[in-house]
């Protein structure tokens, strides 16, 4: 692929990832967090489900495979996005984006513990830098807010989803998996919205526009571009560009919400970015299992 096109698509997809935090924070002033994400992913899931049926992508033939998709949707869509958007009630979008994108660091920790994957010293240095970065992001103190914990839980849920995809999802078509996990995740979010939150729905041109942006641009378009890049380039090297997403999360928080950029948040974000870069970046001969472990982070 042309390097200019590759770079352009990387910027587009990571900018769309990052934009969802600031746009979502605006959105929850009109629609309660879980309900907003339910609408977002049900719409996105239906669009992708229709698309994969139209282009005749292979669908799962067993109930076990459908259950795997449902389980991935529970962690990847319901867990990650549910925790993130509820966290936006109490912490800035910039802080939430930085903490949520710790997931590649947690993938290394969890896969080392549960999958017995061995990593290089460089990658463990990246993990350590990442956790030091979190400490700085929180202002160097331990009296964290509820939103901070929820953002960290989003990163944990994302890491679990990554390991599930790596372990069980290889036999599934990536487009089918992506579409239906969003649909199932959206349905779970709708259920949890009815059970656990005081639902609020204010229908205006802005709230409809936000929902459509999150559904189409920040979900369908973003996922489509990202998986296209993973297929066309080296997955390990491509995944290293995920560090741009929290950068755009901070940038959009500043541009759209007027959030202040504290020095400690910037330092923490830089350390986390370096840590993720060290964890994901592969050299001429990647370590066995590493690319697979992080390509979906």
- Parse the chain into domains and list their residue ranges: 3-294
Q: Is 32 helix (H, G, I), strand (E, B) or coil?
A: coil
- Provide the pLDDT confidence category of residue 271 given band limits of 50, 70 and 90: confident
Under a CB-based contact definition with an 8 Å cutoff, are residues 249 and 97 in contact? yes
97-117 mean pLDDT? 83
Which residues, in sequence order, are CB contacts of 45 under 8 Å at separation 6+? 179, 180, 181, 182, 183, 184, 185, 186
Q: What pTM was computed for the model?
A: 0.83
Tokens 């491509």 label which residue?
Answer: 238
Cα–Cα dist 179/46, whole Å: 7
31-51 mean pLDDT? 96
Q: Is the pLDDT of residue 290 over 50?
A: no
- Provide the pLDDT confidence category of residue 235 given band limits of 50, 70 and 90: low
Residue 261: how many other CB atoms lie within 10 Å = 13
Cα–Cα dist 293/11, whole Å: 23
Alpha-carbon distance values, 173 to 48, 221, 227, 281, 297 (Å): 13, 18, 12, 26, 17
pLDDT at 33: 95
pLDDT at 32: 96
Least confident of 44-53, 111-120, 187-196: 111-120
Cα–Cα dist 62/41, whole Å: 24
90-112 mean pLDDT? 85
Summary mean pLDDT of the chain: 85
pLDDT at 208: 96
Phi-psi region of 56 (alpha: psi -120 to 50; beta: other; left: phi over 0): left
pLDDT at 3: 79
267-289 mean pLDDT? 69
- Provide the pLDDT confidence category of residue 153 given band limits of 50, 70 and 90: very high
Q: Is the pLDDT of residue 289 over 50?
A: no
């Amino acid at each position: 692929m042309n390097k200019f096109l590759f770079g352009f698509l990387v910027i587009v997809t990571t900018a769309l990832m990052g934009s969802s935090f600031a746009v979502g924070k605006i959105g929850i002033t009109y629609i309660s967090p879980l309900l907003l994400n339910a609408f977002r992913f049900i719409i996105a899931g239906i669009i992708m489900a229709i698309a994969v049926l139209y282009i005749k992508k292979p669908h799962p033939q067993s109930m076990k495979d459908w259950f795997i998709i449902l389980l991935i949707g529970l962690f990847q869509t319901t867990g990650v996005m549910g925790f993130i958007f509820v966290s936006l009630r109490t912490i800035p979008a910039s802080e939430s984006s930085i903490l949520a994108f710790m997931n590649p660091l947690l993938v290394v920790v969890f896969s080392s513990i549960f999958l017995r994957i061995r990593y290089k010293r460089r990658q463990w240095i990246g993990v350590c830098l990442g956790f030091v970065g979190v400490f700085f992001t929180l202002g160097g103190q331990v009296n964290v807010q509820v939103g901070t914990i929820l953002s960290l839980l989003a990163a944990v849920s994302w890491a679990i989803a990554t390991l599930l995809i790596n372990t069980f999802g290889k036999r599934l078509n990536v487009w089918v998996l992506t579409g239906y996990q969003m649909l199932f995740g959206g349905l779970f979010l709708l259920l949890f919205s009815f059970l656990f939150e005081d639902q609020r729905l204010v229908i205006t041109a802005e709230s409809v526009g936000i929902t459509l942006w999150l559904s189409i641009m920040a979900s369908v378009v973003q996922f489509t571009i990202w998986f296209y890049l993973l297929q066309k380039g080296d997955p390990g090297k491509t995944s290293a560009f995920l560090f741009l997403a929290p950068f755009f999360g901070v940038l959009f928080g500043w541009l759209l919400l007027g959030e202040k950029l504290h020095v400690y948040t910037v330092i923490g974000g830089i350390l986390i970015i370096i840590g993720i870069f060290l964890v994901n970046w592969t050299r001429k001969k990647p370590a066995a299992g590493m690319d697979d472990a992080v390509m979906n982070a």
